[in-house]
Amino acid sequence: MEYKVIPFVPSINRNKENSTEVALQLEDIIKHHSNQGWCYVRLESVETFIQPDAGCFGLGAKPGYTTSRQMIVFSKTK
């Protein structure tokens, strides 16, 4: 079995759109990849640690932090 994982970063205008627009964006991506023979498996959340930035001589230093990324998982039988 073959797998494909792509990032999912929905974008909406907070003054005009809502979660329905996010769902439509996800649906469009799933349809696009389904037309290429991929089967949608799930939406996965991946925790990522962003390394601290020491800055130049300590100026502008930024601490490290953890963030979450959404990934869409597809599969295909070879």
30-45 pLDDT, tens per residue? 999 999 999 999 999 9
Q: How far apart are CA 20 and CA 52, in angstroms?
A: 36
Q: What is the pLDDT of residue 15?
A: 78
Residue 62 — very low, low, confident or very high, per pLDDT cuts 50/70/90? confident
Q: Say yes or no to pLDDT of 25 above 90.
A: yes
Q: Which helix (H) or strand (E) holds 2?
A: strand 2-7
Q: What is the pLDDT of residue 46?
A: 95
Least confident among 17-21, 54-58, 74-78: 54-58
